[in-house]
Protein backbone atom coordinates (compact mmCIF):
# COMPACT_ATOMS: atom_id res chain seq x y z
CA UNK A 1 0.00 0.00 0.00
CA UNK A 2 1.43 3.40 -0.98
CA UNK A 3 1.85 6.37 1.34
CA UNK A 4 -0.88 8.19 -0.59
CA UNK A 5 -3.29 5.31 0.01
CA UNK A 6 -2.45 5.27 3.72
CA UNK A 7 -3.18 8.99 3.94
CA UNK A 8 -6.45 8.62 2.02
CA UNK A 9 -7.64 5.79 4.27
CA UNK A 10 -6.74 7.77 7.40
CA UNK A 11 -8.60 10.86 6.21
CA UNK A 12 -11.63 8.86 5.16
CA UNK A 13 -11.72 6.90 8.42
CA UNK A 14 -11.49 10.03 10.55
CA UNK A 15 -14.17 11.67 8.43
CA UNK A 16 -16.48 8.68 8.92
CA UNK A 17 -15.91 8.68 12.69
CA UNK A 18 -16.77 12.39 12.78
CA UNK A 19 -19.90 11.68 10.74
CA UNK A 20 -20.98 8.89 13.09
CA UNK A 21 -20.40 10.99 16.23
CA UNK A 22 -18.51 14.30 16.29
CA UNK A 23 -18.90 14.33 20.09
CA UNK A 24 -16.91 11.10 20.34
CA UNK A 25 -14.06 12.23 18.10
CA UNK A 26 -13.62 15.64 19.77
CA UNK A 27 -13.85 14.33 23.34
CA UNK A 28 -11.47 11.48 22.45
CA UNK A 29 -8.87 13.95 21.12
CA UNK A 30 -9.11 16.35 24.07
CA UNK A 31 -9.09 13.51 26.56
CA UNK A 32 -5.94 12.06 24.98
CA UNK A 33 -4.09 15.38 25.28
CA UNK A 34 -5.06 16.01 28.90
CA UNK A 35 -4.45 12.40 29.91
CA UNK A 36 -0.96 12.63 28.38
CA UNK A 37 -0.13 15.70 30.48
CA UNK A 38 -1.35 14.22 33.79
CA UNK A 39 1.95 12.57 34.91
CA UNK A 40 4.04 15.65 34.08
CA UNK A 41 2.31 17.91 36.62
CA UNK A 42 3.60 16.01 39.69
CA UNK A 43 6.97 15.40 37.99
CA UNK A 44 7.62 19.09 37.40
CA UNK A 45 6.24 20.54 40.64
CA UNK A 46 7.64 17.75 42.82
CA UNK A 47 11.08 18.56 41.45
CA UNK A 48 10.54 22.22 42.31
CA UNK A 49 9.36 21.23 45.80
CA UNK A 50 12.47 19.12 46.42
CA UNK A 51 14.75 21.93 45.25
CA UNK A 52 12.87 24.40 47.46
CA UNK A 53 13.39 22.12 50.47
CA UNK A 54 17.07 21.67 49.63
CA UNK A 55 17.56 25.45 49.45
CA UNK A 56 15.59 26.15 52.62
CA UNK A 57 12.77 28.09 50.98
CA UNK A 58 9.93 29.49 53.09
CA UNK A 59 6.83 27.55 54.06
CA UNK A 60 4.74 29.70 51.73
CA UNK A 61 6.80 28.63 48.72
CA UNK A 62 6.66 24.98 49.76
CA UNK A 63 2.90 25.23 50.26
CA UNK A 64 2.49 26.84 46.84
CA UNK A 65 4.37 24.03 45.08
CA UNK A 66 2.42 21.39 47.00
CA UNK A 67 -0.88 23.10 46.20
CA UNK A 68 0.02 23.37 42.50
CA UNK A 69 1.03 19.71 42.40
CA UNK A 70 -2.22 18.50 43.91
CA UNK A 71 -4.53 21.20 42.51
CA UNK A 72 -3.49 21.00 38.85
CA UNK A 73 -3.52 17.21 38.98
CA UNK A 74 -7.04 17.30 40.44
CA UNK A 75 -8.28 19.74 37.79
CA UNK A 76 -6.78 17.63 35.01
CA UNK A 77 -8.28 14.46 36.49
CA UNK A 78 -11.72 16.07 36.69
CA UNK A 79 -11.44 17.23 33.08
CA UNK A 80 -10.29 13.77 31.98
CA UNK A 81 -13.20 12.19 33.84
CA UNK A 82 -15.70 14.51 32.18
CA UNK A 83 -14.21 13.90 28.74
CA UNK A 84 -14.20 10.16 29.41
CA UNK A 85 -17.93 10.31 30.07
CA UNK A 86 -18.50 12.32 26.89
CA UNK A 87 -16.33 9.90 24.91
CA UNK A 88 -18.32 6.95 26.27
CA UNK A 89 -21.61 8.56 25.24
CA UNK A 90 -20.09 9.34 21.85
CA UNK A 91 -18.88 5.77 21.49
CA UNK A 92 -22.41 4.47 22.04
CA UNK A 93 -23.62 6.88 19.37
CA UNK A 94 -20.85 5.73 17.04
CA UNK A 95 -21.52 2.06 17.67
CA UNK A 96 -25.27 2.33 17.11
CA UNK A 97 -24.89 4.43 13.95
CA UNK A 98 -22.20 2.10 12.66
CA UNK A 99 -24.29 -1.04 13.26
CA UNK A 100 -27.10 0.47 11.21
CA UNK A 101 -24.69 1.13 8.29
CA UNK A 102 -24.73 -2.60 7.51
CA UNK A 103 -28.52 -2.58 7.23
CA UNK A 104 -28.54 0.53 5.06
CA UNK A 105 -25.88 -0.94 2.78
CA UNK A 106 -27.73 -4.25 2.45
CA UNK A 107 -30.88 -2.41 1.39
CA UNK A 108 -29.01 -0.26 -1.14
CA UNK A 109 -27.22 -3.16 -2.82
CA UNK A 110 -28.62 -4.79 -5.91
CA UNK A 111 -30.35 -8.09 -5.30
CA UNK A 112 -27.64 -9.77 -7.39
CA UNK A 113 -25.10 -8.64 -4.79
CA UNK A 114 -27.31 -9.88 -1.96
CA UNK A 115 -27.39 -13.33 -3.54
CA UNK A 116 -23.66 -13.25 -4.32
CA UNK A 117 -21.93 -15.49 -1.79
CA UNK A 118 -18.63 -13.63 -2.17
CA UNK A 119 -20.34 -10.41 -1.05
CA UNK A 120 -21.88 -12.20 1.93
CA UNK A 121 -18.48 -13.62 2.92
CA UNK A 122 -16.90 -10.16 2.61
CA UNK A 123 -19.58 -8.71 4.91
CA UNK A 124 -19.13 -11.52 7.44
CA UNK A 125 -15.36 -11.13 7.31
CA UNK A 126 -15.28 -7.38 7.97
CA UNK A 127 -17.82 -7.77 10.78
CA UNK A 128 -15.67 -10.43 12.41
CA UNK A 129 -12.50 -8.40 11.88
CA UNK A 130 -14.14 -5.48 13.65
CA UNK A 131 -15.08 -7.75 16.53
CA UNK A 132 -11.56 -9.20 16.65
CA UNK A 133 -10.17 -5.68 16.94
CA UNK A 134 -9.39 -4.43 13.46
CA UNK A 135 -11.11 -1.98 11.14
CA UNK A 136 -12.80 1.30 11.89
CA UNK A 137 -13.01 0.94 15.68
CA UNK A 138 -9.35 0.03 15.99
CA UNK A 139 -8.57 3.39 14.40
CA UNK A 140 -9.97 5.07 17.53
CA UNK A 141 -7.40 3.28 19.68
CA UNK A 142 -4.61 4.22 17.28
CA UNK A 143 -5.68 7.88 17.23
CA UNK A 144 -5.85 8.01 21.03
CA UNK A 145 -2.39 6.45 21.37
CA UNK A 146 -0.81 8.63 18.68
CA UNK A 147 -2.12 11.79 20.33
CA UNK A 148 -1.25 10.65 23.86
CA UNK A 149 2.28 9.50 23.05
CA UNK A 150 2.94 12.45 20.75
CA UNK A 151 2.09 14.93 23.52
CA UNK A 152 4.16 12.94 26.03
CA UNK A 153 7.21 12.99 23.74
CA UNK A 154 6.97 16.78 23.48
CA UNK A 155 6.47 17.13 27.25
CA UNK A 156 9.38 14.75 28.05
CA UNK A 157 11.75 16.56 25.72
CA UNK A 158 10.71 19.89 27.23
CA UNK A 159 11.48 18.69 30.77
CA UNK A 160 14.86 17.19 29.80
CA UNK A 161 16.03 20.10 27.62
CA UNK A 162 17.58 21.88 30.60
CA UNK A 163 19.98 18.94 31.12
CA UNK A 164 21.58 19.51 27.73
CA UNK A 165 21.63 23.25 28.28
CA UNK A 166 23.54 22.91 31.57
CA UNK A 167 27.16 24.05 31.01
CA UNK A 168 28.32 22.26 34.13
CA UNK A 169 27.53 18.85 32.60
CA UNK A 170 30.39 17.59 30.44
CA UNK A 171 29.81 16.88 26.74
CA UNK A 172 30.73 13.16 27.06
CA UNK A 173 28.05 12.83 29.74
CA UNK A 174 25.47 14.40 27.49
CA UNK A 175 26.54 12.18 24.57
CA UNK A 176 26.37 9.08 26.77
CA UNK A 177 22.90 10.15 27.89
CA UNK A 178 21.73 10.53 24.26
CA UNK A 179 23.38 7.29 23.13
CA UNK A 180 21.80 5.29 25.93
CA UNK A 181 18.36 6.69 25.18
CA UNK A 182 18.75 6.13 21.41
CA UNK A 183 19.95 2.52 21.76
CA UNK A 184 17.20 1.65 24.24
CA UNK A 185 14.54 3.21 22.04
CA UNK A 186 15.86 1.26 19.03
CA UNK A 187 15.73 -2.02 20.95
CA UNK A 188 12.25 -1.31 22.34
CA UNK A 189 10.93 -0.31 18.90
CA UNK A 190 12.42 -3.42 17.27
CA UNK A 191 11.08 -5.83 19.90
CA UNK A 192 7.65 -4.14 19.94
CA UNK A 193 7.48 -4.28 16.17
CA UNK A 194 8.26 -7.99 16.16
CA UNK A 195 5.70 -8.60 18.92
CA UNK A 196 3.02 -6.71 17.02
CA UNK A 197 3.78 -8.72 13.87
CA UNK A 198 3.39 -11.96 15.81
CA UNK A 199 0.11 -10.78 17.37
CA UNK A 200 -1.23 -9.51 14.03
CA UNK A 201 -0.47 -12.85 12.45
CA UNK A 202 -2.24 -14.60 15.32
CA UNK A 203 -5.34 -12.36 15.16
CA UNK A 204 -5.51 -12.63 11.36
CA UNK A 205 -5.51 -16.42 11.68
CA UNK A 206 -8.55 -16.17 13.97
CA UNK A 207 -10.86 -14.49 11.46
CA UNK A 208 -12.01 -17.45 9.36
CA UNK A 209 -12.36 -19.67 12.41
CA UNK A 210 -14.27 -16.96 14.26
CA UNK A 211 -16.72 -16.69 11.36
CA UNK A 212 -17.25 -20.45 11.64
CA UNK A 213 -17.62 -20.32 15.43
CA UNK A 214 -20.07 -17.42 15.18
CA UNK A 215 -22.34 -19.43 12.86
CA UNK A 216 -21.81 -22.49 15.01
CA UNK A 217 -22.85 -20.65 18.19
CA UNK A 218 -25.88 -19.12 16.50
CA UNK A 219 -26.98 -22.61 15.55
CA UNK A 220 -26.50 -23.91 19.09
CA UNK A 221 -28.23 -20.96 20.73
CA UNK A 222 -31.28 -20.77 18.49
CA UNK A 223 -34.31 -22.49 19.97
CA UNK A 224 -35.24 -24.15 16.66
CA UNK A 225 -32.00 -26.19 16.79
CA UNK A 226 -32.75 -27.62 20.21
CA UNK A 227 -35.05 -30.35 18.89
CA UNK A 228 -32.55 -31.75 16.38
CA UNK A 229 -29.63 -31.61 18.83
CA UNK A 230 -31.54 -33.65 21.39
CA UNK A 231 -33.30 -36.10 19.08
CA UNK A 232 -30.15 -36.95 17.14
CA UNK A 233 -27.77 -36.94 20.15
CA UNK A 234 -25.60 -34.26 18.59
CA UNK A 235 -24.24 -32.86 21.86
CA UNK A 236 -20.98 -34.84 21.87
CA UNK A 237 -19.92 -34.26 18.22
CA UNK A 238 -20.84 -30.56 18.41
CA UNK A 239 -18.91 -30.13 21.65
CA UNK A 240 -15.98 -32.00 20.13
CA UNK A 241 -15.89 -29.69 17.12
CA UNK A 242 -15.86 -26.62 19.33
CA UNK A 243 -13.21 -28.13 21.62
CA UNK A 244 -10.93 -28.87 18.65
CA UNK A 245 -11.25 -25.32 17.33
CA UNK A 246 -10.62 -23.72 20.72
CA UNK A 247 -7.66 -26.02 21.40
CA UNK A 248 -6.10 -25.05 18.06
CA UNK A 249 -6.47 -21.35 18.91
CA UNK A 250 -5.14 -21.87 22.42
CA UNK A 251 -1.98 -23.60 21.15
CA UNK A 252 -1.36 -20.82 18.62
CA UNK A 253 -1.91 -18.17 21.27
CA UNK A 254 0.37 -19.95 23.76
CA UNK A 255 3.20 -20.14 21.22
CA UNK A 256 2.77 -16.48 20.26
CA UNK A 257 2.59 -15.28 23.87
CA UNK A 258 5.80 -17.13 24.81
CA UNK A 259 7.70 -15.48 21.93
CA UNK A 260 6.27 -12.06 22.81
CA UNK A 261 7.25 -12.58 26.46
CA UNK A 262 10.85 -13.25 25.40
CA UNK A 263 10.93 -10.07 23.33
CA UNK A 264 9.41 -8.07 26.17
CA UNK A 265 12.11 -9.40 28.54
CA UNK A 266 14.81 -8.00 26.25
CA UNK A 267 13.22 -4.53 26.13
CA UNK A 268 12.60 -4.55 29.90
CA UNK A 269 16.24 -5.36 30.65
CA UNK A 270 17.38 -2.57 28.32
CA UNK A 271 14.96 -0.18 29.99
CA UNK A 272 16.31 -0.88 33.49
CA UNK A 273 19.90 -0.82 32.28
CA UNK A 274 19.30 2.65 30.86
CA UNK A 275 17.58 3.75 34.07
CA UNK A 276 20.59 2.64 36.12
CA UNK A 277 22.98 4.42 33.78
CA UNK A 278 20.97 7.65 33.93
CA UNK A 279 20.82 7.53 37.72
CA UNK A 280 24.59 7.12 37.94
CA UNK A 281 25.19 9.94 35.47
CA UNK A 282 22.76 12.32 37.19
CA UNK A 283 24.03 11.52 40.68
CA UNK A 284 27.57 12.16 39.47
CA UNK A 285 26.49 15.48 37.95
CA UNK A 286 24.61 16.42 41.13
CA UNK A 287 27.63 15.67 43.34
CA UNK A 288 29.76 17.95 41.18
CA UNK A 289 27.11 20.67 41.45
CA UNK A 290 26.01 20.45 37.82
CA UNK A 291 22.33 19.83 38.47
CA UNK A 292 19.94 20.13 41.42
CA UNK A 293 18.65 17.23 43.48
CA UNK A 294 15.07 17.85 42.28
CA UNK A 295 16.19 17.72 38.67
CA UNK A 296 17.36 14.13 39.12
CA UNK A 297 13.81 12.96 39.74
CA UNK A 298 12.52 15.18 36.92
CA UNK A 299 15.02 13.88 34.33
CA UNK A 300 14.72 10.21 35.28
CA UNK A 301 10.91 10.26 35.25
CA UNK A 302 10.81 12.25 32.01
CA UNK A 303 13.24 9.91 30.24
CA UNK A 304 11.29 6.83 31.35
CA UNK A 305 8.10 8.40 30.05
CA UNK A 306 9.93 9.36 26.86
CA UNK A 307 10.98 5.75 26.28
CA UNK A 308 7.43 4.55 26.81
CA UNK A 309 6.02 7.32 24.61
CA UNK A 310 8.42 6.73 21.69
CA UNK A 311 7.85 2.99 21.85
CA UNK A 312 4.09 3.52 22.08
CA UNK A 313 4.02 6.04 19.23
CA UNK A 314 6.00 3.79 16.90
CA UNK A 315 3.79 0.85 17.84
CA UNK A 316 0.62 2.91 17.32
CA UNK A 317 1.79 4.08 13.89
CA UNK A 318 2.77 0.53 12.90
CA UNK A 319 -0.56 -0.86 14.06
CA UNK A 320 -2.37 1.94 12.27
CA UNK A 321 -0.62 1.07 9.01
CA UNK A 322 -1.42 -2.63 9.49
CA UNK A 323 -5.00 -1.73 10.33
CA UNK A 324 -5.31 0.18 7.05
CA UNK A 325 -5.32 -3.15 5.21
CA UNK A 326 -8.39 -4.18 7.21
CA UNK A 327 -9.97 -0.73 6.92
CA UNK A 328 -9.47 -0.82 3.15
CA UNK A 329 -11.31 -4.15 3.03
CA UNK A 330 -14.01 -2.63 5.25
CA UNK A 331 -14.50 0.27 2.83
CA UNK A 332 -14.43 -2.11 -0.15
CA UNK A 333 -17.74 -3.56 1.05
CA UNK A 334 -19.39 -0.19 1.57
CA UNK A 335 -18.05 0.96 -1.81
CA UNK A 336 -19.76 -1.89 -3.67
CA UNK A 337 -21.82 -0.21 -6.39
CA UNK A 338 -25.40 -0.94 -7.37
CA UNK A 339 -25.10 -1.59 -11.11
CA UNK A 340 -28.87 -1.66 -11.62
CA UNK A 341 -29.82 1.28 -13.82
CA UNK A 342 -32.38 3.24 -11.80
CA UNK A 343 -34.24 4.90 -14.67
CA UNK A 344 -36.09 8.19 -14.61
CA UNK A 345 -39.43 7.65 -16.33
CA UNK A 346 -42.46 7.68 -14.06
CA UNK A 347 -44.72 4.64 -14.15
CA UNK A 348 -48.19 5.76 -15.19
CA UNK A 349 -50.68 5.23 -12.37
CA UNK A 350 -53.76 3.71 -13.97
CA UNK A 351 -57.01 3.15 -12.16
CA UNK A 352 -57.91 0.41 -14.65
CA UNK A 353 -54.61 -1.42 -14.07
CA UNK A 354 -54.10 -1.55 -17.82
CA UNK A 355 -50.47 -2.65 -17.72
CA UNK A 356 -48.94 -5.02 -20.24
CA UNK A 357 -45.69 -6.90 -19.76
CA UNK A 358 -43.77 -8.39 -22.65
CA UNK A 359 -40.66 -10.59 -22.59
CA UNK A 360 -38.85 -10.16 -25.90
CA UNK A 361 -36.11 -12.74 -26.61
CA UNK A 362 -34.97 -12.66 -22.97
CA UNK A 363 -31.98 -14.74 -21.89
CA UNK A 364 -30.25 -14.66 -18.55
CA UNK A 365 -27.12 -16.20 -17.05
CA UNK A 366 -26.23 -15.92 -13.36
CA UNK A 367 -22.78 -14.48 -12.62
CA UNK A 368 -20.19 -17.26 -12.73
CA UNK A 369 -22.62 -19.79 -14.26
CA UNK A 370 -21.61 -21.83 -17.30
CA UNK A 371 -25.01 -21.84 -18.97
CA UNK A 372 -28.12 -19.68 -19.29
CA UNK A 373 -30.89 -20.06 -16.73
CA UNK A 374 -33.34 -18.63 -19.29
CA UNK A 375 -33.04 -18.97 -23.06
CA UNK A 376 -34.77 -16.73 -25.60
CA UNK A 377 -38.04 -16.37 -23.67
CA UNK A 378 -40.73 -14.38 -25.48
CA UNK A 379 -44.29 -13.88 -24.20
CA UNK A 380 -46.90 -11.30 -23.20
CA UNK A 381 -49.15 -11.00 -20.17
CA UNK A 382 -52.80 -10.38 -20.85
CA UNK A 383 -54.36 -7.90 -18.44
CA UNK A 384 -56.30 -9.57 -15.62
CA UNK A 385 -55.11 -13.03 -16.65
CA UNK A 386 -54.40 -15.72 -14.06
CA UNK A 387 -51.23 -17.37 -15.27
CA UNK A 388 -49.60 -20.52 -13.89
CA UNK A 389 -45.86 -21.18 -14.25
CA UNK A 390 -44.81 -24.82 -13.91
CA UNK A 391 -41.78 -26.99 -14.56
CA UNK A 392 -39.18 -29.17 -12.92
CA UNK A 393 -36.72 -27.82 -10.38
CA UNK A 394 -34.11 -25.72 -12.15
CA UNK A 395 -36.28 -25.17 -15.22
CA UNK A 396 -36.14 -21.36 -14.88
CA UNK A 397 -39.42 -20.54 -13.13
CA UNK A 398 -37.99 -18.49 -10.26
CA UNK A 399 -35.46 -16.80 -12.55
CA UNK A 400 -38.36 -15.75 -14.76
CA UNK A 401 -40.07 -14.11 -11.76
CA UNK A 402 -36.85 -12.40 -10.61
CA UNK A 403 -36.44 -10.84 -14.03
CA UNK A 404 -40.09 -9.81 -14.13
CA UNK A 405 -39.71 -8.04 -10.75
CA UNK A 406 -36.40 -6.57 -11.92
CA UNK A 407 -34.33 -8.13 -9.18
CA UNK A 408 -32.00 -8.89 -12.09
CA UNK A 409 -31.69 -7.43 -15.56
CA UNK A 410 -31.64 -9.71 -18.64
CA UNK A 411 -28.31 -10.77 -20.08
CA UNK A 412 -29.89 -10.51 -23.53
CA UNK A 413 -33.20 -9.20 -24.84
CA UNK A 414 -35.55 -6.83 -23.06
CA UNK A 415 -38.64 -6.74 -20.87
CA UNK A 416 -41.25 -4.12 -21.76
CA UNK A 417 -43.95 -2.42 -19.71
CA UNK A 418 -46.59 -0.88 -21.99
CA UNK A 419 -44.03 -0.99 -24.81
CA UNK A 420 -41.18 0.68 -22.85
CA UNK A 421 -38.04 -1.10 -21.62
CA UNK A 422 -38.52 -1.49 -17.86
CA UNK A 423 -34.94 -0.30 -17.24
CA UNK A 424 -36.04 3.19 -18.26
CA UNK A 425 -38.63 3.43 -15.49
CA UNK A 426 -37.90 4.69 -12.00
CA UNK A 427 -36.74 1.55 -10.21
CA UNK A 428 -38.85 1.92 -7.07
CA UNK A 429 -41.97 2.95 -8.97
CA UNK A 430 -41.64 -0.17 -11.12
CA UNK A 431 -41.23 -2.42 -8.07
CA UNK A 432 -44.38 -0.87 -6.61
CA UNK A 433 -46.39 -2.63 -9.36
CA UNK A 434 -45.78 -6.06 -7.81
CA UNK A 435 -47.15 -7.86 -4.79
CA UNK A 436 -45.02 -10.99 -4.38
CA UNK A 437 -45.02 -13.98 -2.06
CA UNK A 438 -41.75 -15.76 -2.65
CA UNK A 439 -41.23 -19.33 -1.56
CA UNK A 440 -38.50 -18.15 0.83
CA UNK A 441 -40.45 -15.14 2.15
CA UNK A 442 -39.52 -13.66 5.51
CA UNK A 443 -41.68 -12.51 8.40
CA UNK A 444 -40.20 -10.28 11.08
CA UNK A 445 -40.40 -10.31 14.86
CA UNK A 446 -42.77 -7.34 14.85
CA UNK A 447 -46.51 -7.23 15.39
CA UNK A 448 -48.92 -9.12 13.14
CA UNK A 449 -50.34 -5.86 11.77
CA UNK A 450 -46.88 -4.49 10.99
CA UNK A 451 -45.94 -7.70 9.19
CA UNK A 452 -49.03 -7.52 7.00
CA UNK A 453 -48.63 -3.81 6.24
CA UNK A 454 -44.83 -4.04 5.91
CA UNK A 455 -44.80 -0.80 7.86
CA UNK A 456 -44.70 0.48 11.45
CA UNK A 457 -48.12 2.10 10.92
CA UNK A 458 -51.05 0.13 9.53
CA UNK A 459 -54.78 0.31 8.85
CA UNK A 460 -56.38 -2.22 11.25
CA UNK A 461 -59.50 -2.70 9.13
CA UNK A 462 -57.54 -3.29 5.97
CA UNK A 463 -55.16 -5.68 7.75
CA UNK A 464 -58.10 -7.65 9.19
CA UNK A 465 -59.76 -7.86 5.75
CA UNK A 466 -56.55 -9.13 4.12
CA UNK A 467 -56.01 -11.72 6.86
CA UNK A 468 -59.59 -12.93 6.41
CA UNK A 469 -59.10 -13.22 2.66
CA UNK A 470 -55.87 -15.16 3.20
CA UNK A 471 -57.59 -17.54 5.64
CA UNK A 472 -55.79 -16.39 8.81
CA UNK A 473 -58.75 -14.67 10.50
CA UNK A 474 -59.68 -17.59 12.84
CA UNK A 475 -56.14 -17.71 14.22
CA UNK A 476 -55.88 -13.91 14.43
CA UNK A 477 -59.01 -13.84 16.59
CA UNK A 478 -57.27 -16.02 19.21
CA UNK A 479 -54.17 -13.85 19.57
CA UNK A 480 -53.85 -12.16 23.00
CA UNK A 481 -53.29 -8.65 21.66
CA UNK A 482 -54.98 -9.04 18.31
CA UNK A 483 -53.14 -7.33 15.46
CA UNK A 484 -50.63 -5.89 17.94
CA UNK A 485 -49.43 -9.35 18.97
CA UNK A 486 -45.74 -9.83 18.24
CA UNK A 487 -44.71 -12.73 16.03
CA UNK A 488 -41.98 -14.91 17.57
CA UNK A 489 -40.16 -14.04 20.78
CA UNK A 490 -36.96 -12.39 19.58
CA UNK A 491 -38.00 -8.98 20.94
CA UNK A 492 -41.11 -9.73 22.96
CA UNK A 493 -41.42 -12.54 25.50
CA UNK A 494 -45.20 -12.48 24.91
CA UNK A 495 -44.76 -13.09 21.19
CA UNK A 496 -46.47 -16.08 19.56
CA UNK A 497 -44.95 -18.90 17.57
CA UNK A 498 -46.66 -19.59 14.27
CA UNK A 499 -46.51 -22.62 12.01
CA UNK A 500 -45.17 -22.62 8.47
CA UNK A 501 -48.68 -22.70 7.05
CA UNK A 502 -49.79 -19.78 9.21
CA UNK A 503 -46.73 -17.82 8.17
CA UNK A 504 -47.61 -18.47 4.52
CA UNK A 505 -51.11 -17.07 5.06
CA UNK A 506 -49.66 -13.93 6.66
CA UNK A 507 -47.29 -13.50 3.72
CA UNK A 508 -50.25 -13.83 1.35
CA UNK A 509 -52.13 -11.20 3.39
CA UNK A 510 -49.12 -8.90 3.06
CA UNK A 511 -49.27 -9.22 -0.73
CA UNK A 512 -52.99 -8.45 -0.64
CA UNK A 513 -52.46 -5.41 1.60
CA UNK A 514 -50.05 -3.86 -0.89
CA UNK A 515 -52.74 -4.07 -3.56
CA UNK A 516 -50.35 -3.87 -6.54
CA UNK A 517 -51.69 -4.53 -10.07
CA UNK A 518 -49.46 -7.61 -10.50
CA UNK A 519 -49.61 -10.43 -7.98
CA UNK A 520 -46.93 -13.13 -7.97
CA UNK A 521 -47.38 -16.22 -5.81
CA UNK A 522 -44.40 -18.59 -5.62
CA UNK A 523 -45.57 -21.90 -4.12
CA UNK A 524 -48.06 -20.06 -1.87
CA UNK A 525 -49.64 -23.25 -0.49
CA UNK A 526 -46.57 -25.48 -0.01
CA UNK A 527 -46.89 -25.36 3.81
CA UNK A 528 -50.70 -25.46 3.99
CA UNK A 529 -52.80 -28.43 4.96
CA UNK A 530 -55.02 -29.90 2.19
CA UNK A 531 -58.17 -28.12 3.38
CA UNK A 532 -56.51 -24.73 3.56
CA UNK A 533 -54.85 -25.34 0.20
CA UNK A 534 -58.20 -26.15 -1.39
CA UNK A 535 -59.70 -22.98 0.08
CA UNK A 536 -56.91 -20.89 -1.43
CA UNK A 537 -57.48 -22.53 -4.82
CA UNK A 538 -61.24 -21.94 -4.64
CA UNK A 539 -60.79 -18.29 -3.66
CA UNK A 540 -57.97 -17.66 -6.12
CA UNK A 541 -60.21 -15.62 -8.41
CA UNK A 542 -61.37 -13.42 -5.52
CA UNK A 543 -57.81 -13.07 -4.18
CA UNK A 544 -56.39 -11.99 -7.52
CA UNK A 545 -59.44 -9.81 -8.35
CA UNK A 546 -58.84 -7.86 -11.55
CA UNK A 547 -55.08 -8.09 -11.17
CA UNK A 548 -52.68 -10.00 -13.37
CA UNK A 549 -51.72 -13.00 -11.25
CA UNK A 550 -48.79 -15.36 -11.71
CA UNK A 551 -48.95 -18.59 -9.83
CA UNK A 552 -45.82 -20.76 -9.54
CA UNK A 553 -46.40 -24.26 -8.27
CA UNK A 554 -45.14 -27.82 -8.36
CA UNK A 555 -48.67 -29.06 -7.63
CA UNK A 556 -50.28 -29.16 -11.05
CA UNK A 557 -53.77 -29.58 -9.61
CA UNK A 558 -53.66 -25.88 -8.78
CA UNK A 559 -53.16 -25.02 -12.45
CA UNK A 560 -56.78 -25.83 -13.24
CA UNK A 561 -57.79 -22.58 -11.53
CA UNK A 562 -55.63 -20.53 -13.92
CA UNK A 563 -56.53 -19.17 -17.36
CA UNK A 564 -53.23 -20.10 -18.93
CA UNK A 565 -50.21 -22.21 -18.09
CA UNK A 566 -46.56 -21.63 -19.01
CA UNK A 567 -44.49 -24.81 -18.98
CA UNK A 568 -40.75 -24.26 -18.48
CA UNK A 569 -38.03 -26.78 -19.27
CA UNK A 570 -34.29 -26.10 -19.31
CA UNK A 571 -34.81 -22.35 -19.32
CA UNK A 572 -37.33 -22.24 -22.17
CA UNK A 573 -41.09 -22.01 -22.45
CA UNK A 574 -41.85 -25.33 -24.13
CA UNK A 575 -45.67 -25.23 -23.85
CA UNK A 576 -48.39 -22.67 -23.32
CA UNK A 577 -52.12 -23.13 -23.00
CA UNK A 578 -54.89 -24.02 -20.56
CA UNK A 579 -55.03 -27.20 -18.51
CA UNK A 580 -57.23 -29.21 -20.89
CA UNK A 581 -55.31 -28.25 -24.02
CA UNK A 582 -51.92 -29.06 -22.49
CA UNK A 583 -53.14 -32.35 -21.05
CA UNK A 584 -54.35 -33.40 -24.49
CA UNK A 585 -50.75 -33.21 -25.75
CA UNK A 586 -49.89 -36.72 -24.57
CA UNK A 587 -46.14 -36.44 -25.24
CA UNK A 588 -45.82 -32.91 -23.87
CA UNK A 589 -43.89 -31.90 -20.76
CA UNK A 590 -47.08 -30.85 -18.94
CA UNK A 591 -48.81 -34.22 -19.48
CA UNK A 592 -45.66 -36.00 -18.33
CA UNK A 593 -45.53 -33.97 -15.12
CA UNK A 594 -49.28 -34.38 -14.57
CA UNK A 595 -49.23 -38.14 -14.95
CA UNK A 596 -46.18 -38.43 -12.69
CA UNK A 597 -48.14 -36.73 -9.89
CA UNK A 598 -51.53 -38.27 -10.65
CA UNK A 599 -50.30 -41.86 -10.23
CA UNK A 600 -50.00 -41.34 -6.48
CA UNK A 601 -53.65 -40.25 -6.20
CA UNK A 602 -55.24 -42.79 -8.64
CA UNK A 603 -56.19 -46.24 -7.23
CA UNK A 604 -54.24 -49.11 -8.73
CA UNK A 605 -51.56 -46.90 -10.25
CA UNK A 606 -48.92 -47.43 -7.57
CA UNK A 607 -47.15 -50.56 -6.54
- Please state, rounded to an integer, the average pLDDT across all residues of the chain: 84
8: CB partners within 8 A, 6+ apart: none
pLDDT at 532 over 70: no
Q: What domains are there in the chain, each with its CATH number?
A: 3-334 (1.20.1560.10), 347-433+539-607 (3.40.50.300), 442-515 (3.40.50.300)
pLDDT of 61: 85
Query: Each residue of 373-392: pLDDT tens digit?
Result: 999 999 888 767 888 888 88
Task: For residues 185 and 31, give the distance between their C-alpha atoms in angstroms, rounded to a whole number.
Answer: 26
- pLDDT-based confidence at 530, cuts 50/70/90? low
Structure pTM? 0.74
Mean pLDDT check: name the lowest of 110-114, 182-186, 347-351. 347-351
CA angle 79, 85, 89 (to 5 degrees): 145
pLDDT at 253 over 60: yes
Mean pLDDT check: name the lowest of 165-174, 446-455, 533-542. 533-542
Yes or no: say if 90 and 23 are a contact pair by the CB < 8 Å rule.
yes
Average pLDDT over residues 23-28: 92
pLDDT at 604 over 60: no
pLDDT at 605 over 60: no
The secondary structure of 397-424 as a DSSP string is HHHHHHHHTTSS--SEEEEEETTEEGGG
CA-closest candidate to residue 423, choices 401, 435, 406: 406
pLDDT of 279: 77
208: CB partners within 8 A, 6+ apart: none
Amino acid sequence: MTLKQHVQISRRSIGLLAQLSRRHLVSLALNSVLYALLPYVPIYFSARLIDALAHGQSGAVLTLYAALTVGLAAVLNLAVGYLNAQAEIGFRETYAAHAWRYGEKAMSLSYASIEDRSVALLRERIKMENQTGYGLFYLQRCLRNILTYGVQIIASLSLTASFFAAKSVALPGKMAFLAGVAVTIAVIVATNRKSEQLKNRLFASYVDGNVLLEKYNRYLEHYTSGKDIRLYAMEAPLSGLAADLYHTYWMRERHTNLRCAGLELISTLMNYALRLGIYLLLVSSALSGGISVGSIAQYVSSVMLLLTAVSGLVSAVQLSLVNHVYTQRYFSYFDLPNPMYQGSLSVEKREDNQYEIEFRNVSFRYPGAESDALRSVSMKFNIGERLAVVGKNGSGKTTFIKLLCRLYDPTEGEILLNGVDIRKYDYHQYLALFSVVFQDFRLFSFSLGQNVAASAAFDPRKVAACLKEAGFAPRADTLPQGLNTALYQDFDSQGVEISGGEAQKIALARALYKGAPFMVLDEPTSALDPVSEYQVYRSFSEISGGKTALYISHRLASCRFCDEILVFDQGRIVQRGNHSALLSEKDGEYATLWNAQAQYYTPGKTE
